[in-house]
Amino acid sequence: MNIQRPVWPPQTKLIVSTLVLALLIYLVFRFSVVIPPLILAIILAYVLSPVVAQLQMRLRLPKSWATFLTYLILIILVVTSLVLIVPPLASQLALLNVDIQQLLQQAEELLGHKFVIFGSEINGSLIVQQIINAFRNLLEPFIGQTLAFVVDVITSVVWLIFILVVSFYLIKDGDKLSNWLESLPPPHFLQDYTRLRARINDIWASFFRGQLVLAFVVATIFTIVGLVLGLPFALAMGILAGLLEFLPSIGHAIWLIIAAVLAFFLGSTWIPFPNWAFALLVIGLHLFYQQFDLNYLIPRIIGQSVHLPPLVIILGIVAGAAMAGVLGIVLAAPTIASARVIGRYIYANLFDLDPFITAETASPPTSNTGSTEPE
């Protein structure tokens, strides 16, 4: 005799769902310190999982051994890069500190007297002194706090080990985790879940794996061109350009401002150009590169799935910075693109539309003359 199992009434479902949601929100706030390292661990596992799959297939290794070998190669590459890059980068940063002092002295000599504008007298030396004091106050947290620095280093090492261990097990047990996630949706929503996951996976895959490749390519290009032009601190500026590729729309502007200031005040290290002409050359080459980056590098390395209007990306970066700091800035673009996919799905279901028919997949209507009509 089959006994029909009881079904929760709508009121019970609403109460339980509300309690579960409240518990999740509490846990997020209670353990918020763990969230950024956990996100970084997920990102690292996401980026390295194709490498593990390739090693597992080509070397016919168990997944645990392929994962271990991947992390061993990663650690060797990171250590080698640090050994090769850190010494010259440290020397350039030390020179940069000296040049910043020179720039401040030049600014004080240039502006350190009184100006009369429309009958009003402005004390330039007082303004410059206030700027110098503000700059020194900005640098104070990073200078002279040895004990705090040591504590921060130890904490960072602990979190780095946490990220590596969590990402290792995420890759190693990725198949089990994927099967568990597929068992969560009700059977009649499984197809929608699979298609949504595939689209969102394309967004994050194209962003992270492509962004890492793009950052390396950009850092290489800027370092080589900087050395050829004699741009001060070419290695540091090249690495900065690669890192700023993670900030769509505003990364180019940040790099250009810094490079133009260095070019204008310090000039080229070997080309006998006037400083102002060298600064104009740097600006012109960067504007040319920006078009090359937007129209060639990004579409071919990252693809089209993360493309968003510049205004949306800028607003997303500001919101991400307010909510999650640097991590929120980096993750703003793929998060907004994923939210766009989910929002389109919700909108289509609210109005009984097919959520997976988009302008790209739908067949365009044709007119009686046989030409394609604009949508």
- Ramachandran category for residue 303: left, alpha or beta (phi over 0 → left; psi -120 to 50 → alpha): left
16 in any annotated domain: no
Dihedral sign for Cα atoms in the order 125, 126, 127, 129? positive
- pLDDT tier for residue 356 given thresholds of 50, 70 and 90: confident
Alpha-carbon gap, residue 144 to 239, rounded angstroms: 26
Q: Answer yes or no: are the C-beta atoms of 155 and 37 closer than 8 Å.
A: no
Domain count, the chain: 1
At residue 296, what is the residue type?
Y
127 in any annotated domain: yes
Alpha-carbon gap, residue 43 to 28, rounded angstroms: 19
% of the chain surpassing 90 pLDDT? 13
107 in any annotated domain: yes
Q: What is the mean pLDDT of the chain?
A: 78
Tokens of 148: 């705090």
Alpha-carbon gap, residue 71 to 50, rounded angstroms: 13
Give the domain extent around 39. Answer: 34-87+101-114+123-173
154 in any annotated domain: yes
Q: Which helix (H) or strand (E) is 121 found in, with range? A: strand 120-123
Q: Answer yes or no: are the C-beta atoms of 263 and 237 closer than 8 Å.
A: no
319 in any annotated domain: no
pLDDT score of 281 = 93
Q: Answer yes or no: are the C-beta atoms of 230 and 269 closer than 8 Å.
A: yes
**Taking the CB of residue 103, how many other CB atoms lie within 10 A of it?**
16
Rounded to 5°, the CA angle 108-95-146 comes to: 95
> What is the mean predicted confidence (pLDDT) over 329-357?
86
169 in any annotated domain: yes
138 in any annotated domain: yes
- pLDDT tier for residue 68 given thresholds of 50, 70 and 90: very high
> What is the mean predicted confidence (pLDDT) over 310-337?
80
Q: Answer yes or no: are the C-beta atoms of 223 and 234 closer than 8 Å.
A: yes
Rounded to 5°, the CA angle 345-351-353 comes to: 60
Alpha-carbon gap, residue 108 to 347, rounded angstroms: 59
When mean pLDDT is compared across 47-61, 105-119, 175-189, the lowest value belongs to 105-119
Higher pLDDT, 115 or 284: 284
Q: Which of 189, 213, 256 is nearest to 50 (CA)?
A: 213
Q: Phi then psi for 161, rounded to 5 degrees?
A: -65, -40
When mean pLDDT is compared across 119-128, 187-196, 259-268, the lowest value belongs to 119-128
Tokens of 234: 């070419």
- pLDDT tier for residue 44 given thresholds of 50, 70 and 90: confident
Summarize pLDDT for 78-97 with one digit per residue, the tens: 888 778 877 777 776 666 65
Summarize pLDDT for 14-34 with one digit per residue, the tens: 999 999 999 999 988 888 888
The residues with which 366 forms a beta bridge, in sequence order, are 372
The residues with which 123 forms a beta bridge, in sequence order, are 114
Q: Answer yes or no: are the C-beta atoms of 247 and 333 closer than 8 Å.
A: no
Alpha-carbon gap, residue 290 to 294, rounded angstroms: 6
At residue 23, what is the residue type?
L
> What is the mean predicted confidence (pLDDT) over 205-222?
86
Alpha-carbon gap, residue 191 to 206, rounded angstroms: 23
pLDDT score of 323 = 78
